[in-house]
Chain A
Amino acid sequence: MKVLVPVKRVLDYNVKPRVKADGTGVDLANVKMSMNPFDEIAVEEAIRLKDKGVTEIVVVSIGELKAQETLRTALAMGADRAILITSEEKVEPLGVAKLLKAVVDEEKPDLVILGKQAIDDDNNQTGQMLAGLLGVGQATFASKVELTADSVTVTREVDGGLETEKLKLPAVVTTDLRLNEPRYASLPNIMKAKSKPLATKTAAEYGVDVSPRLTTLKVTEPGKRQAGVKVADVDELVMKLKAMGVAK
């Protein structure tokens, strides 16, 4: 069984994003970039499924040439093969989903595992779009994945609690945070990953129109909260709460 895992290179989650002074976006010059945390979880899940019938894991990233580093990380974790699709221009989720569909048509994976959301643009769309374009089932926000030869049963984190769905394969799954804890790549595996195959293609080679549909007119900082006051003790807090009408 083959699993495809799309991974995105994003601003590291520990870095505080800074809006550029000219209002064109968030400053990504000289800041730490990493694999989107949800995608690490997706790679980890694919690796864990290797005991359950998965024989090959292909990772794919769409972006600038440097996304190679992200793919090497996935290979060092345990993926077998990587595909980089370069694009000068930023590709939106709809374009990413179309490129991924082209990859799926070529690679014919049984399962595609994506992150539920990329923490830069927080779109939470790509997996659902891909499933729609492929005409296959989708299970978003997965916290548990059980794979059999022809189906996948997924527990999903929904607003009210948990929900379980069963999908026919091939299918698309997107990961939530509690699905697993991704491993760190060991040094020997990082070395080994250097010789694993990484194919580089361009978006144009797939003949898919990925021109953006949205224009970002500006990016601004949200209104900042001012730090308030510290109260001396519980009595003062109770007094303030009463003054606010929160407590009787």
Chain B
Amino acid sequence: MSVLVWVEHDGKAVKDATLAAVTAAARLGEVEALVAGQGVDGVAQEAAKIAGVTKVLVADDASLGHALAENVAPLVVELMGSRDAFVAPATTTGKNIAPRVAALLDVMQISEVLSVESADTFTRPIYAGNAIATVQSKDGKKVLTIRGTAFEKAAAEGGSAAIEQVSAKGDQGLSSFEGSEIAQNARPELTSAKIIVSGGRALGSEEQFHQLIDPLADALGAGVGASRAAVDAGYAPNDYQVGQTGKIVAPEVYVAVGISGAIQHLAGMKDSKTIIAINKDEDAPIFQVADLGLVGDLFKVVPELTEKLAV
């Protein structure tokens, strides 16, 4: 089977989410990687080194600069003419593009794949991860998005794939990119962080969120996340949200501070290796999934914890 993998990148470097998608794709067959963008030579060089990638296809064009689904989909559809599966990481970009491709190929996409059971059978989460469905596809071609936390990352170095240029399909004239506010964050990215400290509604204000959560995260070398309640209240930006409708994370250690543990939040972090919860309510549902629980007022215990970790 020949598999085309969508390379997630920021114009400069390959994003980690790609590596998990390559691992999943390799279970299906021979992996080719598609780098679409503008001025993406460097990305293509990097993609060629990913272990398991046999060829890198590069589409370098102004119309692909912002990965608009309207311009990317016709390119992927064309490339899929001679390939059997399209695999994208389940990032916001992957989720935006893959279903459009699937519809144009007349294929039912399989979203957030957790495991590849065989060439046509996959598992995926439903109901916010409260159930796992095993589904078999009757479609000739497969379109999948891959949950990054469910697959090992392919090695970023070691491969030496050939690089081939392919031509873009041009601007379809349906949409245009107007701008972005991408957070400049020195902390580890949530989806690849080894440790995450997340704050909830209990933090009470943006100021207190930063005063309490940031130093604790610094002491642990951690990334920072948040519950939806904290994001909605403006304590943290939207890209911090962990959960069913935010990011899915599975770090070595997840520290939930002042988060109750609603199923929609758990959906995003319950596969973390070790969960630590700090909450003043000893009956908070978060304690049902926490390996280590500390019952207490976060305004007291978090500064104390930060201080004791720093020495």
Give the contacts of B112-148 with A (CB-CB under 8 A).
Answer: 112, 121, 125-139
Known: A139-B175, A222-B129. A241 touches B309 (CB 8 A): yes
Question: In whole angstroms, what is the CA distance A231 to B99 when docked?
Answer: 46
Contacts of B108 in A (CB 8 A): 92-94, 212-214
CB-defined contacts of B177 to chain A, threshold 8 Å: 163-165
> Given B95, B112, B178, B253, which contacts A246 in the complex, CB threshold below 8 Å?
B253
Inter-chain contacts of B304 with A (CB < 8 A):
234
Contact check, A230 vs B183: say whether CB atoms are below 8 A apart. no
**Bound complex: CA of A25 vs CA of B130, how far in Å?**
11
**A43 an interface residue at 8 Å Cβ cutoff?**
no
How many A-B residue contacts, CB cutoff 8 Å?
A: 254
Interface presence of A161 (CB below 8 A): yes
Interface string of A53-77 (1 = CB under 8 A from B): 0000000000000000000000000
**Chain A interface mostly helix, strand, loop or mixed?**
mixed
> Cβ of B135 and Cβ of A217 under 8 Å apart?
yes
CB pair A178 B232 closer than 8 Å: yes
Asked, given contacts A123-B109, A137-B174, A178-B232, whether A161 binds B99 with beta carbons under 8 Å apart, the answer is no
- Contact, CB under 8 Å: B292 / A215: no
Question: Contact residue range for chain B?
Answer: 35 or more
B290 within 8 A of A: yes
* Number of chain A residues close to chain B: CB under 8 A: 81
Chain A residues within CB distance 8 Å of chain B: 11, 13, 16-17, 19, 25-26, 92-94, 97, 116-117, 119-133, 135-141, 143, 153, 156-168, 171, 176-178, 212-222, 225, 227-231, 233-235, 237-238, 240-241, 244, 246-247
Q: Nearest-CB distance from A132 to chain B (Å)? A: 4
Residue of B nearest to A168 (CB): B174
- Min CB distance, B164 to chain A, in Å? 26
